[in-house]
C-alpha cells in the first residue's frame, strides 16, 4: 500500500513494533479450521501452542 495506517491495540504499526503486533494478531479462517483427524484436545493444544501459551496453562485450561 502507498497510503494509510494500521492501528491495533491503540498503537500504530511500524517496523519497530512488529513483534508486538504479531503477539496480538491471530488467524481466523473463513472456513472450517478443524481437521477431521485431530481430537478437540489436539486442536486446543495446537492453537494454544501457536499463540505461545505455556504447556502448564494449556493443560490447566483444557482440563477445566
Give the pLDDT score at 57.
92
Tell which residue, 47, 44, 39, 40, has the closest CA to residue 59: 44
Answer yes or no: is pLDDT of 6 > 70. Answer: yes
Please provide residue 12's backbone torsions phi and psi, each rounded to the nearest 5 degrees.
Answer: -90, 140
pLDDT digits (tens, 9 = 90+) for 24-55: 777 776 777 677 888 888 888 888 888 889 98
Radius of gyration of the chain from Cα atoms? Answer: 16
pTM of the model: 0.47
Give the pLDDT score at 1.
57
**Following CA atoms 50, 51, 54, 55 in sequence, which dihedral angle do they give, to the nearest 10 degrees?**
-30
Amino acid at each position: 500500500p502507498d497510503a494509510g495506517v494500521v492501528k491495533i491495540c491503540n498503537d500504530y504499526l511500524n517496523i519497530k513494533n512488529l513483534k508486538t503486533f504479531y503477539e496480538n494478531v491471530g488467524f481466523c479462517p473463513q472456513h472450517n479450521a478443524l481437521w477431521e483427524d485431530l481430537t478437540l484436545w489436539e486442536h486446543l493444544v495446537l492453537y494454544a501452542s501457536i499463540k505461545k501459551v505455556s504447556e502448564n496453562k494449556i493443560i490447566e485450561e483444557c482440563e477445566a
